[in-house]
Every structure is written in C-alpha cells, then in structure tokens.
Amino acid sequence: MNTAACIVVFAKAPVAGLVKTRLIPALGAQGAAKLAQRLLEHAVDQAVQVQGAAVELCMTPDLHDPMLLALSQQYGVTLSPQGDGDLGNRMHRAFQRVLQTHGAAILIGTDAPAMNTAMLKEALAALATHDAVFIPALDGGYALAGLRQPCAALFEGMVWSTATVMQETRRRATLAHIHWHELPPVNDIDEPTDLVHVPPAWLPAPVDS
C-alpha cells in the first residue's frame, strides 16, 4: 500500500573535477566542488523540514563518498544509487521505484539555491489535485518534477541541458493527457554568470587569474 510522499534529492557526489565543471574557470575545481557540496547540503536541509515526507538522497557515481555518508547520518536520509543511463533514464527509474511505496514523489536537483521548504510543500500540495507538478528553471529546464504515477514519456529520449527542456516537457505532458501544475520559475547555477544568484557566504574564494 502506498504511504506518504517522498522527496528525492538527485545529485552528483561533490568530487573536485567531476562536479560543476562549468564553474571551474571561475572557482577552480576545489571551489566548484565546495559550492556543489553547499548546494547539496541546502537541498537536503530544506527537504527534511517537510513534515510527513520521506527523503532520499539519490546519488552518482559513488555512494561511499565520506561526505555523503556523513550527510546521510546527519539528516537521517536514505542513500540510493542513480544507476546507469542518461538523466532521463535515471529519473524515470527513480520515480518507478519510489512510487511503488509512496503515493506521490517529487524529485529535485541541487542547482537552485532559491528552492526552499515552502516550495517543496507547495509542490506536494499540488499533487493532491494534479498528476504532475514542475518548478521551471529560468534557463529553460526545470528544478523540480513531481508525479503521482511514473510516466516514461516525460523523460525518455529527452535532450537534456538545453533551453527547451521545459517546453518539450509541456508538449509531452499534453500528449500524455497529464494534468500538471507549475510553480514560479527559479534560477539554477550552471555557468559562472549564474553565480550572482548564489548567497555570497556560500561562495569560495575566487581563483586568481
């Protein structure tokens, strides 16, 4: 029997040189990894404050990273592997698994520092009356997706990291007769120009030119 909702935080282990690589010219490999860790901690911290929702940290590539293990223990969240395949395959697989035991699920990344507990609660509330919910990103993607039932059509064969991801998602949702809701868009952090949207205290020291 399905139980309460689950919030799945989808992220890469914050390993220097493997995460936030587009920020390396501005922050250096270590700085980019430190920011990725800070963003990850923020996402988990906001998620665990949603009462009545389970929280899962779904990671790639390695669940044995000491920081991940410490974060899991600190917040009491479950660690799970994303597994193989492109982003869409991994997201769909996570929804399939989680929705076997939960009545609703939302999946968030860690790139949106504006994402907070209130937004997560609002997204879960929307799933009481909608099949799906999204928080678009201002770069054309999305920072949150929520579903009550798995839907492969939303994820398979998507060209990710483009300015048309949310637009294509709307088209697919319409074709699949999905009744969805959108919350206001947020900024995400991918390029050096996006760093203006990061709280200054979160930023590591700049790299000398």
Return the structure tokens found at 1: 């029997």
User: Into how many domains does the chain fold?
Assistant: 1
Residue 16 sits in a domain of what CATH number? 3.90.550.10
Q: How far apart are CA 9 and CA 40, in angstroms?
A: 8
Contact indicator for 50, 117 with CB cutoff of 8 Å: yes
Q: Find out whether 157 and 115 touch, Cβ atoms under 8 Å.
A: no
Question: pLDDT at position 67, please?
Answer: 87
Per-residue pLDDT for 76 more than 90?
Answer: yes
Give the C-alpha separation, 190 to 27, whole Å. Answer: 12
Please tell me the distance from the alpha carbon of residue 22 to that of residue 197, in angstroms, as a whole number: 16
Mean pLDDT of 76-102: 96
Report if residue 61 sits inside a domain. Answer: yes
**Mean pLDDT across 83-96:** 96
Residue 135 lies in a domain: yes
- Domain hosting 99: range is 9-192
* Residue from 54, 50, 105, 101 nearest 77 by CA: 54
Q: Does position 17 have pLDDT exceeding 80, yes or no? A: yes
What confidence category does residue 64 fall into, taking pLDDT thresholds of 50, 70 and 90? confident
Instruction: Catalogue the E-assigned strands of 61-111.
Output: 78-81, 105-108
Q: Using only C-alpha atoms, what is the Rg of the chain?
A: 16
Rounded to an integer, the average pLDDT of 41-66 is 93
pTM for the model stands at 0.94
| pLDDT value at residue 1 | 41
Structure tokens at 83: 């597994």
Split at pLDDT 50, 70, 90, the class of 199 is very high
pLDDT band at 63 (very low <50, low <70, confident <90, very high): confident
Percent of the residues in the chain that have a pLDDT greater than 70, as a whole number: 97
Q: What is the pLDDT of residue 209?
A: 43
In angstroms, the CA 28 to CA 81 distance is 27
Mean pLDDT over each residue of the chain, to the nearest integer: 94
Domain annotation covers residue 186: yes
